[in-house]
Amino acid sequence: MLRSRDEGRGLAAVKELEGEGLSTKFHQLDILSGESIKKLADFLVETYGGLDILVNNAAINLEASTAPLSEKAEATLKSNYTATLNVCKSFFPLLRSHARVVHLSSVSSLNALSKCSSALQSSLKNCKTLTELDELMAKFEKDVKSGVHQANGWPNCAYGVSKIGVTVMTPIQQMELDADETRSDLVVNCCYPGYVVTDMTCHKGEIMIDEGAETPLYLALLPPNSTQPRGEYVSEKKVVKWR
């Protein structure tokens, strides 16, 4: 199922895919809206009874904007971290046994992590709960607003930090899914798709969209009872250790 914030753009994309012989359905979704997330979740339950694959692709990158970092940090964390988590909170209960979840993270997360102070790196790498991670992400936003983020060991990059949130949330969510006794073989991974020619990269990049889709697709289609990768960061279909 394809989704977009704007119904006209979404339906146009469905038509374009149909022209290539690919059949898909459209549903509106704005991950910043709890109501919109709920509508799609209700639709999935009513129509399909659950969910087998969830790809969290939606994100923004405001690094090129001249807005103050405090504004960029607030907006970027809201979309890339908090809203993605909100989607998971609503959609994870719908996952059926053997479901696969893929978060689009970025190599920017690992770059940003390497620029954090060693104390922060340690806190982020050893985060065991989403509550701890929420607190660290909120601290970045607060430190940026107070102008002390660099003094407190954070890098100067809202997008990178938002994607640290995505990378760190992945193994925590895998632990939570592993503890679920009602369903089995639920797998969540995050990935770097490569430097892809898209709107986000102003149509610069090293690979085209179909190549950028290879790693997310590989993770979305991991066969039943795969032992690896689970809760990992994956690039070019290979696990990259980051902690």
Q: Which stretch binds ligand NAP (CB under 6 A): 16-24, 51-59, 132-140, 141-149?
A: 51-59
Cα 14 from chain centroid (whole Å) = 23
Verify whether residue 159 is a known catalytic residue: yes
The span from the CA of 113 to the CA of 31, in Å, is 25
DSSP code per residue over 120-156:
HHHHHHT--SHHHHHHHHHHHHHHHHTT-TTTTT--S
Q: Which of 49, 50, 78 is nearest to 62 (CA)?
A: 78
Which range, of 43-51, 133-141, 146-154, 197-205, touches ligand NAP by CB under 6 A?
Answer: 197-205
The reply to whether 29 sits near ligand NAP by the rule CB under 6 A is yes
Chosen residue from 201, 224, 237, 243 binding ligand NAP by CB under 6 A:
201
The window from 37-45, 114-122, 145-153, 187-195 that contacts ligand NAP (CB under 6 A) reads: 187-195
Residue 74 backbone phi and psi in degrees, to 5: -60, -50
Residue of 14, 30, 127, 161 that binds ligand NAP (CB under 6 A): 30
Active-site residue identified among 81, 159, 192, 233? 159
Q: Which residue has the tokens 């250790």?
A: 241
Among 140, 192, 233, 242, binds ligand NAP (CB under 6 A): 192
Other CB atoms within 10 Å distance of the CB of residue 5: 14
Residue 165 engages ligand NAP in binding (rule: CB under 6 A): no
Strand order in the sheet with 95-104: 51-56, 95-104, 187-192, 233-235, 238-239
Residues 54-83 that bind ligand NAP (CB under 6 A): 57-60, 79
31 binds ligand NAP (CB under 6 A): yes
In which element (H, E) is residue 16 found? helix 7-19
Q: Which is nearer to ligand NAP, 123 or 190 (CB)?
A: 190
Is residue 141 a contact point for ligand NAP (CB under 6 A)? no
Smaller CB distance to ligand NAP: residue 17 or 32? 32
Chain position carrying tokens 């179909």: 210
Chain positions contacting ligand NAP, by CB under 6 A: 4-6, 9, 29-32, 57-60, 79, 104, 106, 192-193, 195-196, 198-201, 205
Catalytic residues, which ones?
Answer: 159
